[in-house]
Structure 1
Amino acid sequence: MTGEESSEMLEGLFKLVKEIRPAATLRTRLSPYETKMLRDQGVTITDLGDYALLTEGRNYGRIEHYIEWLAEQADIPARSLLYRPQHIGDDTLGFIGFQVTDAVGLLVYMEQLGIMVSAALLVDELLPALEMRTLLTEAEHSILTYKLWTGRRRSVIRSTAKRILGTESVETFRSPAGYRYKMVRQNGLALSLEVRGPKHRQLNQESVDCDYCGLSYLSNTPAETRTHRQVHRRAAQLLDPVPNTRLAKRLAETDQPIIVDSKAPMWMQKEVYRRAVKFKRELRYDFVQWAGDDLNPVTLGWHGHLFPAGPDGTIAGACAFSNQHPGPGDEEWTLAWVWIAPKYRGQGLLTAHWSGLIELYGNFFIEPPLSEAMQGFVRSHGTESQVALLAVYTGLGE
């Protein structure tokens, strides 16, 4: 379609929605067209145009000429559909049309442009099946969210007419139903048509960086706000932990370091994994240094340790060891990472566990790079070889 043809289509649509005509009476029962569309699970382009004409007769009933063009604007594919043969192997007739969810998705799109069609009854028929689905097409998603977004959308249709340097003119219109239109033209050619539904409200949105949980999200966006709430809540469980009765019970049963390996309860493995993720994000590493996750046990060769803040089992931090990659001095174990919640740092928590870790893992290698705080700790509490390797392998030691 040339730029001029595209511009003419846009002008025709604008002329249609500007025509004042009473809206059709709302129906409570499916029409024969709708019943057939649902039964056949599809519709021809011609039949969909005839269906739209039942309620949209403005601009001399030209809505049927816009069906394919509007489908292109909504990225809804017209398909070659075939009638099922009475006997397999028989020749069959075909036609160009839309599968039923695409057809209803197109009606939803037309409705949000202020075209006098209603997808409500068809949406009600299709919703139960869609609510059970995990993956949806864009058209199916518009059906699923139809009741939430009816009248609230902002849509922009652009012609393919080439924009050039020069003055643009703007024409606005508000329909009796409350749809607000803004047509932009240049040199007599329609460039774009913006449509705001009667319930559309412009939200002031800005990018927000949460210093507490570290998430960047867009304000006034329900999905991102919910995500931030979830991330913030999970961060609080690490940054401001509460007493853990299960860990407290285990601490009461032994005074030895508790090893979190592949045989440990999954709740303990998850606690180590979550702190491994926090360590990765805090130091901006490329991957999580723990060979397990929330669902899968850690693999052999990995040990974790949880650092309690007291006998109540409050988890103040964690660390992880691996014997998968020997250190440069052929040390069997490598300390992959240590993470302690900020409020517990500088309180001697790691110092209290260090001698026990050396007893378990020997003269283990400490994987670089090390933070400045960890470098200072190694200089004060590390073994002789750990202090020596600090300068050699981090390039930051004395």
Structure 2
Amino acid sequence: MKYTFESNTLEIIWNGLNETPKRTNQFVTEKLYLKFLERGWVLEYEIEDIFYHLDRGVYSIFLERKSMDEIYKGFEIDFETIYDKPKATDSSVMGYNSISIKNFVFLLIQLEKIGFSTNPIFLVEKLLPALKQKKYLSKSELEIFWYNKTRLKNETIFLSIENYHGFFLNPKKLKTELGFKINVEFDEENKPVYFEIVAPKFRKKTFTYPTTCEECDYTWQKGDPSSSASHRRVHKRAMNWLNPQPLERIKELDKINKDYILVTADSPKWQHFEMYERAYAFKKEFRYDFVQYQSREGHNDENIHGYLFINENDSIIGACCFRKNELEWGLDWIWICPIQRRKNHLANKWKMFKELYGNFYVEPPVSDEMKSFIKKHDSLLL
């Protein structure tokens, strides 16, 4: 993050950072904070009181009104006029220049990021529960929402004069009480023109790059923890159908048939879940818009018959679904895991399907491979 300030403001910031830290009067500050929270606003003159008790360096900046106004502007903090609530008979009210409590906390956070001991934790903890319930957050609310996870870890902040081009000399270093490392450059008049402020717990982001998993075909940003975690979830799910393992539930079934399980409206939920997962695999492989199975939980439609294909190891290697319209049955979809294809799993059941569902249609679009399969196996049944 980069901020541009006048040379005089940078000098005041530098002098403030070199002040001996003032120990916070916690009782006084918390008493003021509770008043701010109740009101929802912080009056301009009250900010001076808080800075006096929080950090002597920030208080010295406040004494220079022009510099403080520049900091407000740089951090995009807007003041508003608030008014005493009038009584019904009042014709005039008193106005006060103020900032909202959330913008005030945002100011404390920004000042902490450039090295001052403003410690906004008390106010953050008071405001956070309500923010967690909101659907949308403002800029200042986002800073409060993230504060506990990002404190002292923020990215490097740069402060400089407007025409700084990196050719000034006289570097100096400073380490604050909180551990911020500050590198400063000065001009020929020994005035600061450039600050590099490194947070004590800041770590450079790991280089990330797009990677596609050869097994589950998922693309994620390798090196990004969140993206990698997402890949692990997707991968684990996909492996259930791409590399199926024996299921104890299938072993425990009193199976009438060795190589399939008929799934109807009366079947248990876990069988419907396995049907849905294969329908999802079908949708994913062929890039269809929706999953052609109603629910993971099951359905009450007697005109839908699902078949889970199982092998000798009691693993689910594929599935298909028949659906009846007003006139006839149709093969809605079929999906078999790649490592089990061309092993006659469908061919061995084709005669049975014909006997059960008659001259059923196959839901389009139909691949050339499926057309050849139908032509070959229907002719064998004649």
TM-score w.r.t. length of structure 1: 0.70
SS at match of 1:252: coil
Q: Against the structure 1 CA distance between its residues 112 and 234, is the aligned structure 2 distance closer, same or farther, given a 3 Å change threshold? A: farther
- Pairing 1:343–2:349 present: no
Q: Against the structure 1 CA distance between its residues 87 and 71, is the aligned structure 2 distance closer, same or farther, given a 3 Å change threshold? A: farther
Q: How do 1:208-357 and structure 2 match up within 5 A?
A: 208-250=211-253, 252=255, 258-260=261-263, 264-285=267-288, 287-294=289-296, 297=299, 302-310=304-312, 312=314, 314-323=315-324, 332-357=328-353
Give deviations 1:29-79, integer Å, cap 9, x for gaps: 54333121222233245534653454213557446424542442xxx7766
| Post-superposition offset of 1:341 | 2.2
| Post-superposition offset of 1:367 | 1.8
Q: Is the 8 A contact 1:10 1:193 kept in 2?
A: no
Name 2:33's counterpart in structure 1.
Answer: 34
SS at match of 1:31: helix
SS at match of 1:57: helix
Name 1:65's counterpart in structure 2.
Answer: 69
- Provide the C-alpha distance between the structure 1 equivalents of 2:306 and 2:97, rounded to a whole number of angstroms: 61
Out of 364, 367, 370, the position equivalent to 1:367 is 364
Highest Rg: 1 or 2? 2
Q: How do 1:118-157 and structure 2 match up within 5 A?
A: 118-130=119-131, 133=133, 135=135, 137=137, 138-154=139-155
Q: For residue 340 of structure 1, what is the amino acid of its counterpart?
A: I
- Provide the C-alpha distance between the structure 2 equivalents of 1:65 and 1:195, rounded to a whole number of angstroms: 21
Give deviations 1:291-350, integer Å, cap 9, x for gaps: 5344685878654332223473x22222234456x9xxxx83443432222332333322
Name 1:200's counterpart in structure 2.
Answer: 202
Q: How do 1:47-86 and structure 2 match up within 5 A?
A: 47-48=46-47, 50-52=49-51, 54=53, 55=55, 56-59=58-61, 61-62=63-64, 64-66=68-70, 68-72=72-76
Q: For residue 135 of structure 2, what is the amino acid of its counterpart?
A: L
| Post-superposition offset of 1:115 | 3.7
- Provide the C-alpha distance between the structure 2 equivalents of 1:47 and 1:14, rounded to a whole number of angstroms: 24
Q: Is the 8 A contact 1:289 1:337 kept in 2?
A: no
Q: Against the structure 1 CA distance between its residues 201 and 318, is the aligned structure 2 distance closer, same or farther, given a 3 Å change threshold? A: same
Q: Is the 8 A contact 1:291 1:299 kept in 2?
A: no
Name 1:111's counterpart in structure 2.
Answer: 112
Aligned length: 358
Q: Against the structure 1 CA distance between its residues 249 and 179, is the aligned structure 2 distance closer, same or farther, given a 3 Å change threshold? A: same
SS at match of 2:246: coil
- Provide the C-alpha distance between the structure 2 equivalents of 1:70 and 1:300, rounded to a whole number of angstroms: 67
Q: Against the structure 1 CA distance between its residues 344 and 254, is the aligned structure 2 distance closer, same or farther, given a 3 Å change threshold? A: closer
| Post-superposition offset of 1:240 | 2.6
Mean alpha-carbon deviation: is it higher for 105-114 or for 144-153? 105-114
Structure 2: which 5+ residue stretches go unaligned? Answer: 186-191
Give deviations 1:128-184, integer Å, cap 9, x for gaps: 5555x363525444334423221111156799x7x9xxx942678753134356899
Q: Is the 8 A contact 2:175 2:182 kept in 1?
A: no
Structure 1: which 5+ residue stretches go unaligned? Answer: 1-5, 185-189, 385-398
Q: Is the 8 A contact 1:337 1:367 kept in 2?
A: no
SS at match of 1:337: strand
Q: Give the CA RMSD over aligned residues.
A: 4.5
- Pairing 1:25–2:23 present: yes
TM-score w.r.t. length of structure 2: 0.72
Q: For residue 240 of structure 1, what is the amino acid of its counterpart?
A: N
- Provide the C-alpha distance between the structure 2 equivalents of 1:37 and 1:43, rounded to a whole number of angstroms: 6
